[in-house]
Structure 1
Amino acid sequence: MKAENKKILDVMKFRHACKKFDPTKRVSDEDFETILEAGRLAPTSFGMEPFKILVVESQDLKDKLYPVSWGAQRSIEGASHLVIFLARKRADLVADGEYITHMLKDVHQIPEEAREMRRSIYRQYSEKDFGFIHFEDASLEWSRKQAYIVMANMLTAAAYLGIDSCPIEGFDYAKVADILEEAGVLDPKHFGVAVMASFGYRGEEPRHEKTRRPMSEIVERI
């Protein structure tokens, strides 16, 4: 096996859902900015980036999240950084809307003569091919899928830096959304909660090596 291949697999084996963090160790600003940048560079469908990353630094906010986020409690107690991923709702995803126009014009910087062609392709996809734009729940779920890709990039980048992490779904979505809305960091017209993740350094080693199904069970070449 080439050294580059082994490095990749070693990083994947190092990464695990850390359940106990060492509260005395903090991820450096440089390393965490690199993790955030890995998230920013993640691929999303049509490059529309329908997500937002909240880095929770307020202890008061952590205290409010603690009782309604059972899956995040040990992270709140010991992780260096807690992150909440938000997903954009239908209001921001319509083809002719302000957000999509901003992405096409200002972010992608598509020339005006080509912009409407790109918009029409996205409209076909969102309204007919995938059809999520007709329903609020489906639109939010589409955005959540993109947020998960962003999170995966960040988890992998952290592992490459020797930093532990934990993806977190164990929380009351409605209550977390209410807390974030009350704190003024979530506009319920535009965003819903997708998932959480924490980053830091393990306080104990995993109890066993990573277990996965064999390749023969998960891959079929057709």
Structure 2
Amino acid sequence: MDKENVKNQVLKAYKFRHACKKFDGTKKISDDDFNYILEVGKLSPSSFGFIPWKFLIIQNNEIREKISPVSWGAKLKLPDASHFIVILSRKTPDLIYNSKYISHIMEDVQKLPQNIINQRKKGYENFQKNDFKLLESDRAMFDWGCKQTYIALGNMMTAAAFIGIDSCPIEGFNREKVEKILEKEGLLDREKFGVSCMAAFGYRQKEPRPKTRPDLKDLVQWVR
């Protein structure tokens, strides 16, 4: 595939993608297609490669119904979306520079030699303490993790659009109430994880309105 064709395919996918308001409940995403979307999420970049996210896929209708009253942005999606994801972000106990989780990622996942691990831990500690001042509060650390989950979310929505699958990112929910529901269901350890955002995937019930965006010149400033 030549470069111009690739560029056209990418733009076509972005023009296809929209925040789907209502899904066709009769259409389901195949396991193969959804695993492809999840694989793209897994491969998405994260700060230091420490992967702060977890994808909680809610296919249980009873749990969806419990979430609905406290998730105004998801009400129209929860009944009919083929797949519904609650994206979690890790919190301070896992993301702090000297946590067991960070050591696990470097030792067991990245398989780095010990001298490199020691160097990276020092750099990560300095980054958290001085560069981004993430240790000033647990909320600062959580928000930093949440920002990274949006990279995975965006990539998954784009990957879905490439194969004709619709999606909708969702922030319209009461975080505290959703977390309590998930905790009660045994799906969330609130000491280590919090809810970052949600996303619904499936197939559109009707065609959306044309996209509206400002001109590129209004969004870009070149510094030469």
TM > 0.5 fold call: yes
Correspondence 1:39-188 to 2 at 5 A: 39-188=41-190
- Retained in 2: the 8 A contact 1:22–1:78? yes
- Retained in 1: the 8 A contact 2:55–2:85? yes
TM-score, with length taken from structure 2: 0.97
2:31 corresponds to which residue?
29
SS at match of 2:75: helix
CA distance in 2, matches of 1:56, 1:159: 21
CA distance in 1, matches of 2:67, 2:199: 13
Unaligned runs of 5+ in 1: none
Q: What displacement does 1:134 show? A: 2.7
CA distance in 1, matches of 2:96, 2:13: 39
SS at match of 2:195: strand
AA of the residue aligned to 1:217: D
CA distance in 2, matches of 1:205, 1:122: 46
CA distance in 2, matches of 1:6, 1:30: 25
Q: Write the deviation string for residues 165-197 of structure 1: whole angstroms up to 9, x where unpaired.
A: 000011111100000111111111101110000
Q: What displacement does 1:133 show? A: 2.4
- Retained in 1: the 8 A contact 2:64–2:79? no
Q: CA RMSD of the aligned region, Å? A: 1.0
- Retained in 2: the 8 A contact 1:93–1:133? no
CA distance in 1, matches of 2:129, 2:75: 40
AA of the residue aligned to 1:165: S
CA distance in 2, matches of 1:185, 1:112: 34
User: 2:184 aligned with 1:214, yes or no?
Assistant: no
Q: Write the deviation string for residues 129-185 of structure 1: whole angstroms up to 9, x where unpaired.
A: 111123100000000001111111110000001000000011111100000111111
CA distance in 1, matches of 2:117, 2:218: 44
Q: What displacement does 1:93 show? A: 1.4
Q: What displacement does 1:3 show? A: 1.7
CA distance in 2, matches of 1:112, 1:3: 44
Q: Hey, which bits of structure 1, 4+ residues long, moved more than 2 A?
A: none
AA of the residue aligned to 1:179: I
Q: Write the deviation string for residues 182-221 of structure 1: whole angstroms up to 9, x where unpaired.
A: 1111111101110000000000110x21111100000001
SS at match of 1:192: strand
CA distance in 2, matches of 1:184, 1:149: 27
AA of the residue aligned to 1:117: Q
Aligned-residue identity in percent: 45
SS at match of 2:14: helix
TM-score, with length taken from structure 1: 0.97
